[in-house]
Amino acid sequence: MFTPKYPPPDTAPATPAPQPVNTTATPVVPAPVSVPMPQTPAPSRTTIQFTPGTVVGVAAGGTAVVLVVGAVLVSMLLAVAVTAASVAVCAVVLRALLAQSGKER
């Protein structure tokens, strides 16, 4: 199950033998000139047609995304507010303790 599976060995022949170079001159025949065919211009925009079902689906998806992002942002804001309130309470308690310890001396 965990043993590696290797691909089958390559069956291509080894590198081919070099071919002898042809030293005789061959006449060069110019290629025939072809006239390009006129092409119809491509449309600049593709048309997208929405069906009523597609519009409802896109609207429902957008609404769901907005609700989820809104819930995440509100929960983050709530976490920051709770943290700030707890830090403020700690500061008040520490201030009261330090003020009380300063009066006892």
Spatial distance between the Cα atoms of 17 and 10, rounded to a whole number of angstroms: 19
pLDDT at 6 over 90: no
Query: Would you put residue 32 in left (φ > 0), alpha (ψ -120 to 50) or beta?
Result: beta
Tens digits of per-residue pLDDT, 35-81? 777 777 666 777 778 898 999 999 999 999 999 999 999 999 999 99
What pTM was estimated for this model as a whole? Answer: 0.45
Of residues 50 and 17, the one with the higher pLDDT is 50
